[in-house]
């Protein structure tokens, strides 16, 4: 367009005005005096003003807006909206930039020629270090105009990066936006292939919910659950960048760890402990502790003794057991029910006791002692200890649920001498959480974002479901990336275990981050490891680069150093992914070659403050991460480290799909058969021998 330099100059002037307005908004906030009715109220107000001021801090390396829409409304006339990460207003309160989460911004993401939503023009801006460098226009009201995919969007998606994940507000696609803006009462399950942005969609959904339903969710809370700490570090900057800091991040292990984990289960034992049948075994074990009354309750009061016969107590206990309330709630009600039975006798004798008398009787030693003998207080650790150490106890509660071989698997081969000496496993913590929930109702959050959900066992899903029993969830995962022996093959089953069978399933199969050469190579594993699962499709014009290189065993580390050194000559992150037991040798070789790097899972510290270009990644922590260039060492060793073939191939699939631009596979051993065949011309990887 002939006026492009002038148009771009005008947009730069508008950006400068928006920056000045943001600075004014922040200055007004800082100048506001925190006056409250008392010291506590004043302190709370001061903290609120501080958070508000921090959210208004300008980032000179970014831009306040990334897009613009011009709308034509027959009644309101023409309107123009600039879309950005936060709301910016002028001195009169009129918007200069609207938050990407506002209703009016929906049209920026979803408008099309088929459904323009009143948009006549959509403009996207190219940005470099906070400056507007270019723009692209789509005239949605002009059917004659033909445009391809946005180069600005493609450039932003493929832009090299080092450090944690960035937000994707400038590149959200229509199908992603529909998930992001699903109602707060809707539980959404996203089956997302590698590179489809499912994790970013889940995080942006959390940010949108906090914007649209702030009052509700600020009271009930939002929780993000990820597969490991490396993953949480990787995504940890996204929500703060969107102005949302009151979101808790945790792993499933941290969420459920009520005891110190000091042992590891064999794979078959861990699978059994995650089986949903264990929920009924534990329920039986808990409620079996309620005893049948054999003697009457006798309550001395003054010169008289009041007697509640055993058969009447039996009816009280039976009624409490069938009310559907938690064990401890019923236990606490028992004393009051017994006291009420005593009061009825007092009334029949001509007395007129009031509530104070009933309270006194309920707290009396005879009643509390009697109630405790029938309905004892329980500790989850004691209940589980008895189950895992006593074959008779386990057989009684597992009757009809577990066969003798399964019961033998569950039992400790050498039971600890005391309860305090028990060496609990990670799978045990899930069972302890189930028992604790049988005793007392856990607090339910307003919303839970659960990532890599395909890897959770049914018992783990039940534990997560209890955390959002009265709220909703965003469940993210990919059945093809299941890397635990208990990984699910059915989202319907998983959602049922989560307690959200009504959850809405969305499928994302358009890959924006993983290039075609890489995704098509990795997808060769799908028919064997996840039959029936559709292969993802890369929609990027850039096919990426793929090299599969066979090397001699003596040259493996030398080749690794060579590839990493070359990759470091280009911008962007480099991930070296390999079997866990090979990490020390690879790290030593890189150090000897003078290539600085961070070993995920071993090195500690805030990687966002000191980002490394090169990261050495054990296979077990690679899930959810992405790098511009990935080097995979010895795929066969990665697959064989898992307990079974399916899990091994799925782990390998995850690792092969971590690359955004380039993938290099170095191997000395034979590749899995699915990867050893000659590549199709469409994927165009290079096979070489060194």
- Distance between CA atoms of 454 and 191, rounded to whole angstroms? 9
Q: Which two tokens stand for residue 665?
A: 């596979």
Q: What is the CA radius of gyration of the chain?
A: 31
Kindly indicate the confidence band of residue 4, based on its pLDDT and cuts at 50, 70 and 90.
low
Contacts for 139-146 with beta carbons within 8 Å, 24 or more apart?
140/111, 140/112, 140/113, 140/116, 141/72, 141/116, 143/113
| 272 against 241, higher pLDDT | 272
Residue 484 clears pLDDT 90, i.e. is over it: yes
Considering the entire predicted model, what is its pTM?
A: 0.87
Q: What is the mean pLDDT of residues 237-262?
A: 90
Contacts for 207-215 with beta carbons within 8 Å, 24 or more apart?
207/101, 207/239, 207/242, 207/243, 207/244, 208/101, 208/180, 208/181, 209/184, 209/447, 210/244, 210/246, 210/247, 211/99, 211/101, 211/102, 212/101, 212/181, 212/184, 213/184, 213/446
- Distance between CA atoms of 635 and 650, rounded to whole angstroms? 12
Predicted local distance difference test score (pLDDT) of residue 683: 41
Predicted local distance difference test score (pLDDT) of residue 547: 96
| Listed range (23-37, 383-397, 476-490) with the worst mean pLDDT | 23-37
Q: What is the mean pLDDT of residues 79-91?
A: 94
Residue 445 clears pLDDT 60, i.e. is over it: yes
Helix (H, G, I), strand (E, B) or coil at 223: strand
Which tens digit of pLDDT belongs to each residue from 129-171?
Answer: 888 999 999 999 876 665 656 778 777 777 777 667 777 888 8
Q: Is residue 109 within 8 Å of 175, Cβ to Cβ?
A: no
Torsions phi, psi for 280 (to 5 deg)? -75, -35
Sign of CA dihedral 671, 673, 674, 678: positive
Predicted local distance difference test score (pLDDT) of residue 352: 81
| Other CB atoms within 10 Å distance of the CB of residue 235 | 21
Helix (H, G, I), strand (E, B) or coil at 13: helix
Taking the alpha carbons at both ends of the chain, their separation in whole angstroms is: 51
Tell the burial category of 415 from Cβ atoms under 10 Å away from its Cβ (0-12, 13-18, 19+). middle
The angle that helices 327-348 and 355-363 make with each other, rounded to 10 degrees, is: 120
Predicted local distance difference test score (pLDDT) of residue 459: 98
Predicted local distance difference test score (pLDDT) of residue 1: 44
- As a whole-number percent, the residues of the chain with pLDDT over 70 amount to 93
Residue 606 clears pLDDT 70, i.e. is over it: no
- As a whole-number percent, the residues of the chain with pLDDT over 90 amount to 71
For the chain, helix, strand, coil in percent to 5 are 45, 20, 35
Q: Is residue 232 within 8 Å of 249, Cβ to Cβ?
A: yes
Q: Which two tokens stand for residue 166?
A: 């960035």
Q: Is residue 256 within 8 Å of 429, Cβ to Cβ?
A: yes
Residue 690 clears pLDDT 50, i.e. is over it: no
Sign of CA dihedral 676, 681, 683, 688: positive
Q: Is residue 629 within 8 Å of 567, Cβ to Cβ?
A: yes
Dihedral-angle region of residue 679 (phi above 0 means left; psi in -120 to 50 means alpha; beta otherwise): beta
Tell the burial category of 678 from Cβ atoms under 10 Å away from its Cβ (0-12, 13-18, 19+). exposed
| 152 against 292, higher pLDDT | 292
The helix (run of H) or strand (run of E) holding residue 177 is: helix 174-180
On average, the pLDDT of the chain sits at 90
Predicted local distance difference test score (pLDDT) of residue 5: 80
Residue 441 clears pLDDT 90, i.e. is over it: yes
Q: What is the mean pLDDT of residues 451-455?
A: 96
Helix (H, G, I), strand (E, B) or coil at 71: strand
CA distances from 412 to 282, 305, 392, 448 (A): 17, 49, 13, 35
Predicted local distance difference test score (pLDDT) of residue 349: 86
Q: What is the mean pLDDT of residues 37-49?
A: 74
- Distance between CA atoms of 508 and 192, rounded to whole angstroms? 5
Which tens digit of pLDDT belongs to each residue from 391-417?
Answer: 999 999 999 999 999 999 999 999 998
- Distance between CA atoms of 474 and 461, rounded to whole angstroms? 13
Q: Which two tokens stand for residue 349?
A: 């004798």
- Distance between CA atoms of 516 and 662, rounded to whole angstroms? 11
375: Cβ–Cβ under 8 A, 6 or more apart, which residues? Answer: 289, 290, 291, 317, 330, 331, 334
Predicted local distance difference test score (pLDDT) of residue 75: 67
């Amino acid at each position: 367009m002939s006026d492009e330099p002038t148009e771009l100059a005008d947009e730069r002037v508008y950006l400068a005005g928006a920056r000045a307005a943001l600075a004014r908004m922040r200055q007004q906030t800082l100048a506001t005096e925190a006056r409250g009715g008392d010291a506590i109220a004043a302190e709370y107000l001061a903290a609120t003003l501080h958070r508000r001021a921090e959210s208004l801090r300008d980032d000179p390396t970014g831009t306040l807006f990334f897009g613009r829409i011009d709308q034509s409304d027959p009644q309101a006339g023409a309107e123009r909206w600039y879309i950005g990460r936060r709301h910016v207003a002028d001195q009169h309160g009129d918007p200069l930039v609207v938050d990407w989460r506002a209703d009016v911004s929906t049209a920026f993401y979803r408008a099309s020629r088929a459904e323009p939503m009143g948009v006549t023009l959509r403009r996207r801006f190219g940005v470099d270090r906070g400056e507007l460098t270019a723009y692209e226009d789509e005239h949605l009201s002009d059917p004659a105009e033909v445009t391809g995919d946005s180069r600005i969007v493609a450039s932003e998606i493929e832009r090299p990066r080092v450090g944690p994940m960035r937000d994707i507000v400038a590149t959200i696609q229509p199908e992603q936006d529909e998930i992001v803006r699903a109602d707060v009462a809707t539980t959404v399950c996203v089956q997302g292939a590698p590179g489809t942005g499912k994790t970013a969609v889940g995080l942006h959904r959390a940010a949108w919910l906090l914007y649209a339903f702030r009052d509700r969710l600020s009271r009930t809370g939002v929780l993000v659950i990820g597969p490991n700490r490396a993953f949480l570090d990787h995504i940890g900057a996204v929500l703060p960048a969107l102005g949302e800091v009151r979101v808790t991040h945790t792993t499933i292990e941290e969420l459920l760890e009520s005891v110190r984990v000091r042992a590891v289960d064999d794979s078959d034992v861990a699978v059994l402990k995650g089986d949903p049948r264990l929920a009924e075994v534990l329920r039986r074990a808990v409620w079996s502790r309620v005893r049948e009354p054999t003697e009457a309750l006798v309550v001395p009061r003054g010169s008289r003794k009041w007697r509640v016969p055993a058969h009447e107590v039996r009816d009280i206990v039976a009624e409490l057991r069938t009310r559907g309330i938690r064990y401890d709630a019923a236990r606490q009600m028992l004393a009051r029910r017994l006291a009420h039975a005593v009061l009825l006798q007092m009334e029949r004798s001509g007395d007129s006791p009031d509530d104070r008398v009933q309270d006194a009787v309920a707290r009396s030693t005879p009643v509390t002692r009697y109630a405790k003998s029938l309905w004892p207080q329980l500790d989850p650790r004691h209940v589980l200890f008895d189950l895992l150490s006593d074959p008779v106890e386990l057989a009684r509660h597992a009757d009809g649920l577990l066969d003798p071989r399964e019961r033998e698997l569950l039992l400790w081969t050498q039971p600890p001498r005391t309860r305090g000496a028990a060496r609990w496993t990670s799978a045990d913590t899930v069972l302890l959480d189930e028992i604790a929930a049988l005793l007392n109702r856990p607090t339910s959050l307003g919303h839970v974002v659960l990532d890599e959900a395909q890897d959770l066992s049914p018992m783990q899903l039940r534990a997560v479901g209890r955390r959002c029993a009265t709220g909703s969830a965003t469940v993210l995962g990919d059945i093809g990336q299941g890397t635990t022996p208990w990984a699910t093959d059915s989202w319907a089953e998983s959602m049922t275990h989560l307690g959200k069978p009504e959850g809405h399933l969305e499928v994302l199969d358009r890959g924006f981050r993983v290039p075609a050469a890489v995704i098509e190579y990795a997808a060769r594993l799908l028919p064997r490891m996840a039959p029936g699962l559709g292969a993802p499709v890369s929609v990027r014009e850039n096919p990426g680069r793929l090299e599969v290189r066979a090397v001699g065993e003596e040259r493996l580390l030398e080749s690794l150093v060579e590839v990493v050194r070359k990759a470091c000559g280009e911008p962007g992150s480099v991930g070296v992914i390999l079997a866990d037991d090979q990490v020390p040798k690879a790290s030593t070789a890189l150090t000897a070659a003078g290539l600085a790097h961070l070993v995920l899972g071993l090195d500690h510290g805030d990687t966002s403050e000191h980002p490394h270009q090169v990261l050495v990644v054990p296979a077990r922590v690679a899930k959810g991460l992405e790098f511009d260039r990935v080097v995979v060492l010895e795929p066969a060793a990665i697959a064989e480290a898992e307990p079974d073939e399916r899990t091994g191939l799925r782990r390998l699939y995850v690792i092969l799909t971590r690359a955004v631009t380039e993938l290099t596979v170095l191997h000395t051993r034979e590749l899995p058969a699915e990867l050893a065949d000659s590549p199709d011309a469409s994927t165009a990887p290079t096979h070489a021998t060194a």
